[in-house]
Amino acid sequence: MHLKLLPGIGGPADLKALTIPQLEELAKEIRHAICDQISRSGGHLAPNLGVVELTIALHYVFDFGSDRLLFDVGHQCYPHKLLTGRQPLLPKLRQRGGMAGFPDPRESDYDLFMVGHAGTGISTAVGMARGDLLHGEGCSHENPDGRRVVTLIGDASIVNGVAMEGLNNAGTLKRQFLVVLNDNGMSIAKPQGAVAAYFDRVRLSHSYGEFKKAARDFAKRIPGGHVLADAYHRLGEMSKAVISEDAWFEKFGLVTVGPIDGHDIPTLIDFLNEARHFDRPMVLHVKTVKGKGYGFAEGDCCTFHSPSPFDVVAGDGADDSKLVSEGCRVELRKGGRSFTSAVGDAMVDLMHRDPKVVACTAAMPDGTGISKVLAAHPDRSWDTGICESHAADMMAGLAKTGWKPFFAVYSTFLQRAFDQCFQEASLQGLPLRLLLDRAGVVGGDGAVHHGFCDVSILRVLPGACVMAAMDEPSLQAAIEFMAEFDRGLSALRYPRDKVSDRFLDQPCPPFVLGKARPLVRHERPDLAVLGYGVMAVEAAEAVEKLDGEYRVEVWDARFAKPVDAGLVQSLLEREIPILTVEDHSLVGGFGAAVLEACSELGLDSRLVTRLGLPDHWIHQGERHEQLVEAGLDAASIARTIRERLDRRPVVEVTPPQPAGAVHR
């Protein structure tokens, strides 16, 4: 497709100069630009295709140079970025120096928060709405020209517990406040739970005409109803026509309008124009199609939620000059076997052999490999939706009733369930088992998704067992260990990466609590590297780069809690320097655990050098680039080993005496 309009959009002011037919043509060009780029680099495809018209309409009606626009969840921001001056960054989407895959205030003042976790948009919007009121700048009945606040919430993020808390407070605002609910019937996967079922009923059972009912009677029946009754009189006629008589949001004190067609630009503009002048909290319920405009994304929006790069293969009679045309098929480019896929297979096998094992995930069945479990063992596995806190508590309840629960969750989302890991699992002595995907640096998703603090937050829990896998055999062995570990909480971390085959020729011994595994041994090593998880493999490659320059042992540490104190003691008592390597923060991580062991054993910790993630944010790029930045790639580890050994103290050795000489 030849782009005619999009290259001329340098900012929202240019957008406002277009006619409605031109806006509709612009929507097609935005879709093409996004799909074309994601086919090359990967990224969030289906969520962004679904909000193109909605984003255009929002920027057409509001002035977000002054008004506030907050995203929830952040991965639906690509059209917004293309309309706010960032088209030159698109060719390097999710790469160094290119467009971040989430809102990023470093890129533009149009992005207010760096957003990667669900449920936060309403609460941060409420905070900004209150802040503007305190400054005398907020749009209200008394100040109709003040700053407006809009939060765009989608992909089932509304069912998140934090969103509920935000709604509960939003209803108390006495000013303009607009929540745009992008209801596409999907999360990352099919949304789960009663709230999701409610929206399904709304989409299926209500035509727009059925909403032409007076709101006054229902408004009188709920707390604060007189406010809503008055608000009804301030609504424009179009909004009155589709005001919902029994909308769920009304119970929170927000007037609710819709659902309306989220792909009809004229209708969106009309409704948003009315909402812009409404001086009370409102929800505009917008119905969209995830993956809109491309049949392959609409038909399989789970796979194309955030696909890897893909190829479009033209069929017979298809025009292969187009990105996607009738008769084409789309093929995802394959890398190697991933840790995620290995976890799915290992769990399916374990659950086949052990009928007491159960599993769940929180809206990430594909991203954690649990989709395989859901298909193979639907009676003992669940997708709870975007609610990590609930999922952890639910699994604690299953543990209490004698089951063996495994909760598969991204490391970056574990923080949201920490309180439950503490209170309902660890404090009770219950064996909650955590499978932590995306541990360490994650590549294109950048800082919002790095798993850099799971070790530090879990190590504080008494009796917890914290592990890492370096390859597929060690991952399988760790899961087998976890299935039988019933003394408390256990966790296994692994990266968003391919599994290594470097040590497949060696037998993988079973996991034994608090014991490391030797990978490269020497009778009298110059230094020993304790690699945590995949860093053990990286360390082995680093030693290979040294080409025999030094005698360096490599150990797969396996456990950050409990660390192999016996190994640490044996090495340091022989004055063998230790290098710890981890793709985790140095603060509270594996290396910190080794230093703590030294202190407890009275050992000289000056012989310990730590490598880990630095104390600054690492942004989007290739995972290998991020490891290089952190000094955790094989070349950097080899350089650190040389530096460490070249500055070691010189030990004087008495030369051998000639035969018969007397040494005094």
**Cβ proximity of 502 and 543 under 8 Å:** no
Q: Encoding tokens for residue 49?
A: 């295709």
Which residues, other chains included, contact 197 with Cβ-Cβ below 8 Å and sequence gap of 6+? Answer: none
Helices 590-601 and 565-573: angle between axes, nearest 10 degrees:
60
Q: Which residues are registered as beta bridge partners of 531?
A: 556, 581
Catalytic residue status for 484? no
Which residues, other chains included, contact 281 with Cβ-Cβ below 8 Å and sequence gap of 6+? Answer: 170, 171, 173, 177, 178, 179, 253, 254, 255
Helix (H, G, I), strand (E, B) or coil at 462: coil
CA distance 325 to 330: 10
Helix (H, G, I), strand (E, B) or coil at 566: helix
* Residue 408, Cβ density class (10 Å: 0-12 exposed, 13-18 middle, ≥19 buried): buried
Q: Encoding tokens for residue 42?
A: 């990967």
CA distance 154 to 151: 10
State phi, psi for 243 to the nearest 5 degrees: -70, 135
Catalytic residue among 290, 517, 551, 558: 290
- Cα 276 to the chain's mean position, in Å? 32
Catalytic residue status for 213? no
Helix (H, G, I), strand (E, B) or coil at 493: strand
Strands of the sheet with 149-154, listed across from one edge:
68-72, 149-154, 177-183, 281-287, 255-261
Helix (H, G, I), strand (E, B) or coil at 205: helix
CA distance 627 to 636: 9
Q: Which residues are registered as beta bridge partners of 611?
A: 581
Rg of the chain on CA atoms, in Å: 28
Looking up tokens 């074309």, which residue turns up?
A: 36
Q: Measuring CA to CA, which residue among 499, 567, 183 is closest to residue 335?
A: 499
Helix (H, G, I), strand (E, B) or coil at 133: helix
Question: How does DSSP classify residue 424?
Answer: I
Catalytic residue status for 234? no
Q: 548: phi > 0 → left, psi -120 to 50 → alpha, else beta; which?
A: left
C-alpha distance across the termini of the chain, in Å? 91
**Cβ proximity of 423 and 430 under 8 Å:** no
Catalytic residue among 94, 240, 380, 416: 416
Kindly list the catalytic residues.
290, 388, 416
